[in-house]
Chain A
Amino acid sequence: MTPHPPAPSARPLGLRGVTQRFGPHTALRDVSLELPAGRIVGLLGRNGAGKTTLLHVAAGLLLPTTGTCTTLGTPSEKLDTPELTRLGLVQQEGRCLEWMTVRQHLDFNASFYPRWDRDLEKRLVEALEVDPKRKIVQLSPGDRQKVGILLAVCHRPALLLLDEPMSALDPIVRKRLLDFLLELLRDDGCTVVISSHILNDVEKIVDWIVALDAGAIVEDSPFDALQESFAEWTLTSTNGSLPAAFAEPFVLSHQGDARQALLRVRTTETEAAARFAAAHQAELRARPLNLDEMFPLLTRPRKKQP
């Protein structure tokens, strides 16, 4: 196959109507997604929602059962050296050559990439506190994860796919990793998709959220906009007459009694709180939700709007 030059203007990742089946099991259902360059996307979902499958499709490790996936401007079934050398993937349980030392493995991988950055490698080995002389087989789960990251980023990828990259890393190393991801974004305009349940970390760096539920996309929004639309409202009735349930479609959850209620809501209307308070004759205090609190509301099937 003749190598073709990478198209820098192309979107790093585009999925159109991707369905992925494994025998009777459907892992992705009609997934469509477009990621522009220079975005850090948080990929959220409960266990088994399809996050890993989506990342594997994006990396070309799986070819969609139906639909198309375009990675770095090329359909995933045609991915070749020009694209693969600009792609980085950190897998949840990355496989390494166990008998090699970390140093040998880095050299081995570097030989495949024309853009392997030795300075970056040196800095990251120090920042992540990896001992290059140790054999892979002797490494703790945390150190293995660090090696997986090193092997996936030292060639300065244009698209970096991270599947639970930091579950075994301590908070100090995690912070250094986040700093580094932002540096890649600033210096190279790298696009990052990160799937992680460590939401405190995710919310520090992402500017976009994609959520999956049972293989389908249930959210695809800027993080700012989500922060500005989700809220918790504490209602205190002025006359003890709060209803047992609220009919307003933006009320996502509710607990309380006739005097006080705690609601989780999603609305972008600026006057919604004031009107709601007036309608129910109540004092209303609002506070925004963090990503931990949003997670259960984001990763469930979309409520049908009447």
Chain B
Amino acid sequence: MPPLLTIDHHNGVPAYRQIMDQLKLQIATGLLPPGAELPSTRALSTALVLNPMTVSKAYGLLEHDGVLERRRGQTLIVRERPPAARQTARLDPLRQQLTAAVHLARQLDVPPAQAVKLFRELLES
């Protein structure tokens, strides 16, 4: 089954960027394991109703970043990565979300100790 992606055309984030972020997240969570095949540019752009150039840009950049690799023929697969890289890939999306939370905490003048305590409580609840 092709990866389930949803593109929001109205949030100002380039569609290629949304594809990249969602694929990275699915790979980090193990939904797309190493070796999993990705749909062709044509198939994915048809499924998502996107300009094919958008999909090929996302694929190209993920390949460049070492997240995907091209196997014999043209098929793109999820690349097997060393544990350290996998760990970073898992932390990246979390870091993104927490950065927004940090800004909010500062704006609300919540002391760091209290913010960390809240995060811990939420984690453990």
| B-chain residues with CB within 8 Å of residue A292 when the two chains form the complex | 10
Pair B46/A200 contact, Cβ less than 8 Å? no
Pair B9/A204 contact, Cβ less than 8 Å? yes
Interface majority SS (helix, strand, loop, mixed), chain B: helix
Q: How many A-B residue pairs have CB under 8 A?
A: 54
Contact with B along A37-63 (1 / 0, CB 8 A): 010100000000000000000000000
- Chain A residues 213-268 with CB under 8 Å of chain B are 223-224, 227-228, 230, 236
| B-chain residues with CB within 8 Å of residue A204 when the two chains form the complex | 9, 49
Q: Which of B17, B42, B107 contacts A186, CB < 8 Å? A: B42
Contact with A along B80-105 (1 / 0, CB 8 A): 00000000000000000000100100
A287 sits at the interface (CB 8 A): yes
| A-chain residues with CB within 8 Å of residue B53 when the two chains form the complex | 38, 207
Docked pose: A94 CA to B48 CA in angstroms:
32
Pair A186/B57 contact, Cβ less than 8 Å? no
| B-chain residues with CB within 8 Å of residue A205 when the two chains form the complex | 51
Pair A185/B51 contact, Cβ less than 8 Å? yes
A179 sits at the interface (CB 8 A): yes
| B-chain residues with CB within 8 Å of residue A186 when the two chains form the complex | 42, 45-46, 52
A290 sits at the interface (CB 8 A): yes
B106 sits at the interface (CB 8 A): yes
| A-chain residues with CB within 8 Å of residue B107 when the two chains form the complex | 236, 283, 285
- A251 → chain B closest CB, angstroms: 18
B111 sits at the interface (CB 8 A): no
Tally of chain B residues near chain A (CB < 8 A):
22
| A-chain residues with CB within 8 Å of residue B12 when the two chains form the complex | 227, 230, 287-290, 293
- A278 → chain B closest CB, angstroms: 13
Contact with A along B41-74 (1 / 0, CB 8 A): 0100110011111100100000000000000000
| A-chain residues with CB within 8 Å of residue B52 when the two chains form the complex | 185-186
- A42 → chain B closest CB, angstroms: 11
Pair A200/B9 contact, Cβ less than 8 Å? yes
Pair B57/A227 contact, Cβ less than 8 Å? no
| B-chain residues with CB within 8 Å of residue A289 when the two chains form the complex | 12
Pair B9/A203 contact, Cβ less than 8 Å? yes
Q: Which of B11, B17, B54, B100 contacts A290, CB < 8 Å? A: B11
Nearest opposing residue in chain A for B53, CB measure = A207
Nearest opposing residue in chain A for B16, CB measure = A224
A/B interface sample: 8 pairs, CB < 8 A: A182-B51, A200-B10, A227-B13, A228-B17, A230-B12, A284-B103, A288-B11, A288-B12
11 further A-B pairs in the complex, CB-CB below 8 A; given A186-B42, A204-B9, A283-B106: A38-B53, A179-B49, A182-B45, A182-B50, A200-B10, A207-B54, A227-B14, A228-B14, A284-B103, A285-B103, A292-B10
Chain B contacts to A: CB under 8 angstroms: 9-14, 16-17, 42, 45-46, 49-54, 57, 100, 103, 106-107
Chain A contacts to B: CB under 8 angstroms: 38, 40, 178-179, 182, 185-186, 200, 203-207, 223-224, 227-228, 230, 236, 283-285, 287-290, 292-293
